[in-house]
Structure 1
Amino acid sequence: MRRRQQSTSLTDRQWGMPTALGSRIPLASLIQTLAVAEYLNFRHPANALGVAQSSVSARVKALEDDLGILLFERHARGVRLTEAGRHFVERIAAGIDQLDHAVKTAGMAAAGESGRLRIGIHALIPHSFLANLIGQYREDHPGVEVDMTEATAREAVMQLRADRLDVVFVAGKPELPDCHSRRIWTEPLLAVIPERHPLAERSAITWADLEGETFLVRHGGTGPQVHSHIVLRHAGHWPALSILRFDVGRGALLSMVGQGFGITIVGAATSLLPTSGIVFLPFADEPEPVAFSAVWSPSNRSAALKNLLTLASHMVRIARTD
């Protein structure tokens, strides 16, 4: 019967199952034992840990009694590890390092300094507000892995609701009952026309100037919102509106404008792209600039997301004072 019980205990240890002994050993006893193994006496560990020398000696002795193993051989000048003590200390040191790493990792995640942040974007134009925001965030929080997905506003919000994204940046000020949203930045709306267009020499234009023009919009990115805005501005006007939609990228659409396929409208950040054959003109009759908002789930408690939104607000405040 005794052999059977001993065999079960050995099996439990082999598979990493907690034993009654392991569960009642105080962490302080293990830490003080490691300190004694490092200094090979009781006085220096006690000073380093800020406890009484007698307390360290008593804890180590109690641990040896619980284990039934002599970890240290005592002598006049201090102690030295036994062979069993050396094996014990090596494994305990590895376990303490793993525990320390786990605590630090959990702390970093709780502070938003590690982990992953999944962002849905409509575009990432160099030197735009969004590009600067993400670039500054990555510089401030290098331990956070940033994943980005480009999609239309509708697609991005669907991914957000499916918990495949943490935050999405969209044009407009969406009112979604199941999501939080916040306006982050704005951009003036610009018309994009060929440089040889009769209106190209103007300093600004109106929507009435564009009646009869063929508008080009994209299927992806902010294309659906651009389409809706053009339709809204031409409601009730004649002649009938002509809008052509293409499954192309932003750069290709601008190139098509330059080649005379038609015209389009964009946020001011697009004018930061290197282009040729086109001009960007502001609207004199747009009531307000285009708003861009962050949208996220109310159930998302990510500290990394909170840090991003805080940084965005800070950057907007700085931009307003410049």
Structure 2
Amino acid sequence: MERPEVPLAQLHSFVVLAEEAHFGRAADRLGIAQPPLSQQIRRLEDKVGHALFRREPGRLTLTPAGREFLPAAVSALAGLADGLAAARAVGTGEAGRLRIGFAASLALTVLPGLLRGFRQRFPGVSLDIREMTTAPQIVALLDKKIDIGLLREPPREPELEFRTVLDEPFVAVLPKGHPLAATRGVALEHLAELPFVLLPRAAGPGLYDQIVAMCASAGFTPRIGQHAVEWQTVCALVETGLGVSLAPASIRRIRLTGVAYRRIEPDTTRTRVAIAWRGDDDNPLLTQLLATLGRSIR
């Protein structure tokens, strides 16, 4: 059965007339003359198929059909008002949902300040935070499963935009009982004969290749004894004596009693942290987050 369409103006006029119970007062409140108001009510009654008002000298009351219709009309207008307010909030970036991917190590640096600043400015926005290594973030961005990525050494990808957030130095991650842990700085060539614990290349090709290149510049290829997909696990495996590692300096915030972090000498290589998003993404929340990011890292 086809449902008749009811113009919003007719609904509004009906609700106001029901509240005022007087054509003159309702017309004044609506800012129209009485004849157009009467015409709107007649058209609405034609759609309903029944009179909505009982018109008597000096008295205007709702019919049973009018009393039944009034709550639905009020609800429809309220729902529209709520929908308009919600749409405006999303359009201005004050509400909605933002899906953010982040590399685990960034929970130790950029992420807390970014989220704290954004939540303070936009408490009505729902944040969906997902821990992901760099390669899965790129795939999720391209597949529109996340809106923003915080990652390390991002690859070139023409569909994505990137903004550098910071550049971090590297540190050597050593078992605390190793002789090199007694020094203030470590030359890379001193790690040449030791087994390494690293993230698998598939998790972050850019960072992995950067670490291998650092070792190559020191005259050796790292002998990888173990892989781990999280930096926390990398550090834990180093603590057990299974090897050493090279990691971004923020890893020093992972405090394990059996692990020592020492700067690399000479300190010439940096790992790039970037924020990534789709170039065609017109979500206003993205603009707001980028603005918050700028303030959080000053």
Return the TM-score normalized by structure 1: 0.78
Q: How does 1:1-322 map to 2 (within 5 A)?
A: 11-13=1-3, 17-18=4-5, 22=6, 25=7, 27-41=8-22, 51=31, 55=32, 57-66=34-43, 67-68=45-46, 69-71=51-53, 73=55, 76=58, 79-123=60-104, 126=107, 128-172=109-153, 174-219=155-200, 224-235=205-216, 237-238=218-219, 240-317=221-298
Residue in structure 2 matched with residue 8 of structure 1 by the alignment: none
SS in 2 for 1:117: strand
Q: Match of 1:168, as an amino acid?
A: G
Q: Is the 8 A contact 2:195 2:224 kept in 1?
A: yes
Q: 1:248 to 1:72 in 2, by over 3 A?
A: same
Q: Match of 2:65, as an amino acid?
A: A
Q: Match of 1:117, as an amino acid?
A: L
How far did 1:227 drift?
A: 3.0
Q: Match of 2:99, as an amino acid?
A: R
How far did 1:112 drift?
A: 2.7
Q: 1:100 to 1:124 in 2, by over 3 A?
A: farther
Q: Match of 1:12, as an amino acid?
A: E
How far did 1:42 drift?
A: 5.4
Hey, what's the Cα distance between the residues in 1 that align with 2:202 and 2:289?
Answer: 22
Q: Match of 2:37, as an amino acid?
A: V
Any stretches of 5+ residues in structure 1 without a counterpart? 1-10, 318-322
Q: Match of 1:65, as an amino acid?
A: R
Q: Is the 8 A contact 2:173 2:262 kept in 1?
A: yes
Q: 1:74 to 1:152 in 2, by over 3 A?
A: same
How far did 1:239 drift?
A: 5.4
Q: Is the 8 A contact 1:122 1:222 kept in 2?
A: no
SS in 1 for 2:145: coil
How far did 1:219 drift?
A: 2.4
Write out per-residue CA displacement over residues 67-112 of structure 1, whole angstroms, 9 at most, x where no aligned residue: 2525254664x64333332223222112112222222222222223
Q: Match of 1:241, as an amino acid?
A: P
Q: Match of 2:147, as an amino acid?
A: D
Hey, what's the Cα distance between the residues in 2 that align with 1:239 and 1:151?
Answer: 30
How far did 1:258 drift?
A: 1.4
Q: Which segment is superposed worse, 276-285 or 239-248?
A: 239-248
- Alignment: residue pair count: 293
Q: Is the 8 A contact 1:218 1:224 kept in 2?
A: no
Q: Match of 1:289, as an amino acid?
A: R
Residue in structure 2 matched with residue 3 of structure 1 by the alignment: none
Q: Is the 8 A contact 2:189 2:220 kept in 1?
A: no
Q: Match of 1:202, as an amino acid?
A: T
SS in 2 for 1:212: coil
How far did 1:120 drift?
A: 2.2
Hey, what's the Cα distance between the residues in 1 that align with 2:280 and 2:232?
Answer: 37
Hey, what's the Cα distance between the residues in 2 that align with 1:303 and 1:254?
Answer: 39
Q: Match of 1:308, as an amino acid?
A: L
How far did 1:114 drift?
A: 3.3
Hey, what's the Cα distance between the residues in 2 that align with 1:192 and 1:105?
Answer: 49
How far did 1:232 drift?
A: 0.5
Q: Is the 8 A contact 2:86 2:95 kept in 1?
A: yes
Q: 1:157 to 1:286 in 2, by over 3 A?
A: same
Q: Is the 8 A contact 1:179 1:297 kept in 2?
A: yes
Hey, what's the Cα distance between the residues in 1 that align with 2:204 and 2:41?
Answer: 73
Hey, what's the Cα distance between the residues in 1 that align with 2:270 and 2:125?
Answer: 33
How far did 1:123 drift?
A: 0.9
Q: 1:274 to 1:73 in 2, by over 3 A?
A: farther
